[in-house]
Amino acid sequence: MEKKVGATLQKLEEIWKLLPVDVGKRLKEENFLKEEQIQEIRLRALKPLFVKTNKNKYFIADGYENWIVTNRQIKEAVERLGGYSLYAFEEELKQGYLTVSGGHRVGFCGRAVLEHGKVKTLRQVSSLNIRIAGEIIGCGEQWLPYLFENNSLCHTLIVSPPGCGKTTLLRDIIRCLSYGLHCKESYNVGVVDERGEIAAMKDGVPQMDVGPCTDVQENCPKAEGMRFLLRSMTPDVIAVDELGKEADFYGVEELLHAGVTLISTVHGNDMNGLLKNIKMKKMIGEMEKGRILFLSKKCGTGTVEEIWDAKGIKQYERGVKP
């Protein structure tokens, strides 16, 4: 699956601009940058600088001592992220994260300021988590043929435990359908990006490549977002991430009855476990044509282990020749 990983040196240049100069300079000296892809950089006040890659976790050190992040560096990082004006991203602080150019996401912790029992904003930011966008262009292309039956696109569920690449695969399938890759035509794709992790919008522009025929409804509950897209954008396909709440299935029911194809990710391990969820079982039973992809990390993030149809017939199994 790993064809083009997001944490390239070019993408990292976007990150260095957000960090205090001395922090960025220190990280550039690390040899693991040449062999590994950075996934997270964590700055915690008066704690060691922490980096997670696709292979290891590191406390950055100078000699035998850890490289400690200062309060000044935390403050400088926040100022850079906010354009040197905290009020410029008050709303982002309230929700606890900020999406920056390139689709990278920065999470914040600090002292919450409450108003009517809800978080109004954060003050005295004490830690930052910079999550590097992990786009993998092309990882979905080989699986597109499995998602069609008699030249008709099937409802598709991408299933795995956390951290196996569900969202990354979903994003690339959206891109392929929107461009019409390996299809007879392009599809109008509506994306309900409740957590902002599929398209990673910045100033109204997707920072990830989700294709030219894709409309994104961000920061909206899935059920309401699906209804919104059905009413306003006449999509051929609606894609959502992490289907599972009871309210989500009401939106799916409307979508299925409207003749729109659903593509979604779901937490799970195998078909038996998936069908123990009564609402999930009912939804799959209502799919005239469906595909269920099960992922793992056995051969790298995003390994497709099995593909089933909605009738319980296995269409693909890794290592088994058709």
Q: How far apart are CA 1 and CA 257, in angstroms?
A: 34
pLDDT of residue 85: 57
Q: What is the pLDDT of residues 171-219, one digit of tens each?
A: 999 999 999 998 989 999 999 999 888 998 888 899 899 999 999 999 8
Give 68's DSSP letter. Answer: B
Comparing 9-18, 25-34, 304-313, the range with the smallest average pLDDT is 9-18
CB 239 within 8 A of CB 193: no
The last residue of one of the domains, among 103, 131, 159, is 131
Place of tokens 């693909």: 316
Residues 177 and 296 in one domain: yes
CB 287 within 8 A of CB 261: no
Range of 97's domain? 9-131
- Domain-embedded: residue 1: no
What b-and-e string marks burial along 193-213, b requiring 16 or more CB atoms within 10 Å of the CB?
Answer: bbebbbbbbbeeebbbbbbeb
Residue 120 tokens read as 């109004």
CATH number of the domain encompassing residue 256:
3.40.50.300
Give the chain's mean pLDDT: 89
> Which residues, including other chains, have CB under 8 Å from residue 74's CB and lie 6 or more apart?
43, 45, 125, 126, 127, 128
Coil, strand, or helix at residue 86?
helix
- Domain-embedded: residue 284: yes
- Domain-embedded: residue 112: yes
- Domain-embedded: residue 322: no
- Domain-embedded: residue 136: no
Q: How far apart are CA 67 and CA 301, in angstroms?
A: 30
- Domain-embedded: residue 3: no
Higher pLDDT, 7 or 304: 304
CATH number of the domain encompassing residue 77:
3.30.450
CA torsion, ordered 21, 53, 166, 136, to nearest 10 deg: 70
Residues 218 and 161 in one domain: yes
- Domain-embedded: residue 212: yes
pLDDT of residue 87: 61
Q: What is the pLDDT of residues 215-264, one digit of tens each?
A: 999 989 999 999 999 999 999 999 999 998 899 999 999 999 999 999 99
Residues 148 and 295 in one domain: yes
Residues 160 and 95 in one domain: no
pLDDT of residue 92: 72
pLDDT of residue 2: 42
CB 211 within 8 A of CB 179: yes
The last residue of one of the domains, among 113, 131, 149, is 131
Q: How far apart are CA 266 and CA 264, in angstroms?
A: 7
Residues 120 and 175 in one domain: no
Q: What is the pLDDT of residues 131-185, one digit of tens each?
A: 888 788 999 999 999 999 999 999 999 999 988 999 999 999 999 999 999 898 9
Q: What is the DSSP string of 231-242?
A: HHT--SEEEESS
Tell me the backbone φ, ψ of residue 33, rounded to 5 degrees: -60, -25
Residues 123 and 165 in one domain: no
Total domains present in the chain: 2
Q: How far apart are CA 120 and CA 93, in angstroms?
A: 8
